[in-house]
Structure 1
Amino acid sequence: MPTQPPVRIGARGSKLSLAQAGMMQRRIAAALGADPEDPQAVEAAAPLIVITTSGDRIQDRRLLEVGGKGLFTKEIEEAMLEGRIDCAIHSMKDMPAVLPPGLCIAAIPEREDPRDAFLSREPERLEDLAQGAVLGTASLRRQAQALHRRPDLDVRMLRGNVDTRLAKLAAGEADAILLAASGLNRLGLGHLPKSFLDPLDCPPAPGQGALAIETRVEDRDAPWLEAVRHGPTALAVAAERGALTALEGSCRTAVGAFAQLDGAEIRLVVEALSADGRHRFRREGAASLAGADPESAARELGLALGAQVAAEGGDLILPPE
């Protein structure tokens, strides 16, 4: 039986969010002393509370037009600050670079596949799409990276959950779509992609494939959190989000970052693009993790490379007002 009060988990109501939260709910319940195979015990130890966010309600516009990534976290974070929930499970790529005062990312579990997946009715790769083909995405980064490689493409805004986007592809609203491989895998749909984008050539969103467990600052050292932390993932995410911070990353900037650990060294590639894909600014670098604070070293690498990209790109990497 649980050995401490229940940990109330907040999550969005989408199928993917519930799948991700359910994975973490079982691990958190086990850390609290509950049997992870007993649904009733799991729910008693770590009850799941569904919260609909503004980002879920607004489906007809890009996030950059209505407030950015914070629309996927705002209501959940308010519930945490008000004491109605104790933690929240988010996709790391949906987390803004700066969190509200009083909240923190307290744990990062092991990362799933960080790559973007290419799905279509026929072509195997982005390069194989016909001239002027329609590519559906709601991501400014994916739009810019695709147009950088294929400026002839007709990139159209395609929002909605995974099922909705797959249905739109099947209905012919787009010739191809790009989705996070991690989300497809967590939904049991990992067989659907035709191919994957190379994360070094086409860096994903910072933190893509990783989950964030957000808590109040005073709860960040709760013992149960240690059971869900994954050190190597935290280091990679620290580097990528360092770049995001330096680039003032939000849904208004097309930013990609991908970090890899190689022994006691971390390697990072960062890029930012103009919305039309015409301009791309890119930096690569590495840093040693052998010091006393490897997470700070990883973050500093991201901040440094991100600052270089920001200095070179300037206003070109910001969309028109």
Structure 2
Amino acid sequence: MKPCILATRQSPLALAQAHLVAGCFLERLALECVLQKFVTIGDRQAEWSLEKKGGKGLFTGELEQSLLAGNADIAVHSTKDLPGDMPAGLAIAGYLPRADPRDVLVLREGVAYPRTIATGSPRRRLQLQELFPAATFTELRGNVDTRLRKVAAGVADATVLAAAGLARLGIATWPGLVFRPLAMNEMTPAVGQGAIAVQCRAADVGKFTPALDQATARQINLERALQAALGAGCHTAFGALVEAETLHLYHELTGSHRIEITAAGLTNPRETARTVLGRLQLIPGPVR
């Protein structure tokens, strides 16, 4: 059987995730994957502010072009890093089972209240402002190891990383740092956080979906549909997580309020979006 060409970034985390997908396909489809590694423009331009220069798409464009050109069969992404829109002709085949969706606050040892927090994410910044009102924010680019080294060296008092990424890299501790997982009432995660997405040409979805996790797909399809319905782009402070029968949601319009919706409406993104919009209108305070 012809091997499956798997497009991936070549950062340590991206490669770890690519190998998880390759192992899944070998086990469930008897399909061998060959990795096609890319350094994306987002990787090359480490000094760019992602918020100002194009956001999440800076890390996906080269992989998607390889799919469209027929040079790769699938591309593997951290779901939270996928833009809401994708090029015509491409689709998400599905996801590996979701890992821990939480964010982790990484603090220098001895720092109880961080004064400088390194994160460029609007979602993380706005929620961290509620936890640490006196803190200031700066960007910190680079892979996970680079960020941890820089915080340990004193570039900032703290940063925030995804729990799933740390686990996939086998990082549970780091010299000079303390890891503090953030509870859902402290930090609502990004859409799709904790899940690995498999992207392919739209005509090929049926080839790969049987190997992937349907429960995770149902959760993330709702999260992404809700994000689109509420007009929350990559520059919006927006988080959503479907967990069992509960939707956890954070939107910059809610101010310091988080929204939880249970059971009813969770299978219908449009109805859920209407419910959320109704809740937003009931929350006092200025639009931010």
Q: Same fold (TM over 0.5)?
A: yes
Alignment match of 1:134 (pick from 109, 113, 116)? 116
The equivalent residue for 2:226 is 243
Q: Distance in 2 between matches of 1:16 and 1:304?
A: 37
Given that 1:7 and 1:47 are in contact with CA atoms closer than 8 Å, whether structure 2 keeps it comes out as yes
Q: For 1:166-245, list aligned pairs within 5 A.
A: 166-192=148-174, 194-222=179-207, 224-227=208-211, 229-245=212-228
1:28 match: secondary structure: helix
Conservation of the 8 A alpha-carbon contact between 1:246 and 1:307:
no
Runs of 4+ with >4 A deviation? 305-313
Deviations 1:194-230 (A, max 9, x none): 22111244211011001110011100101x4312x22
TM-score of the two chains, using structure 1 as the length reference = 0.81
Q: 1-side partners of 2:282 and 2:264: how far apart?
A: 25
Contact 1:281 1:312 in 2 (8 A): no
Aligned residues: 284
Superposed CA RMSD in Å reads 2.5
Q: What pairs up with 1:10-21 in 2 under 5 angstroms?
A: 10-21=7-18
Q: Does 1:8 align with 2:2?
A: no
Q: What CA distance in whole angstroms lies between the structure 2 residues aligned with 1:28 and 1:209?
A: 19
3-state DSSP class of the match of 1:235? Answer: helix
For 2:70, the aligned partner's letter is G
List per-residue Cα deviations over 1:35-57 (Å, max 9, x = no partner): xxxxxxxxxx2100012212112
Alignment-derived partner of residue 43 in structure 2: 56
**Preserved CA contact (<8 Å) 1:63 1:251:** no
Classify 1:312/1:243 alpha carbon distance in 2 versus 1 (closer, same or farther; 3 Å).
Answer: farther
Q: Where does residue 88 of structure 2 map in the other structure?
A: 101
One-letter amino acid matched to 1:271: Y
- Give the 5 Å matches for 1:1-321: 4-33=1-30, 45-123=32-110, 128-129=112-113, 133-192=115-174, 194-222=179-207, 224-227=208-211, 229-261=212-244, 266-273=245-252, 279-280=255-256, 282-288=258-264, 297-300=267-270, 302-305=272-275, 307-308=277-278, 316-317=287-288
Indicate how the Cα distance of structure 1 residues 254 and 32 shifts in structure 2: closer, same or farther if over 3 A, else same: same
Paired-residue identity, %: 36
Q: How much has 1:283 moved relative to structure 2?
A: 2.8
- 8 Å Cα contact 1:238-1:302 kept in structure 2: no
What secondary structure, in the 3-state scheme, does the structure 1 residue paired with 2:4 have? Answer: coil
User: What amino acid does structure 2 have at the position aligned with 1:116?
Assistant: D
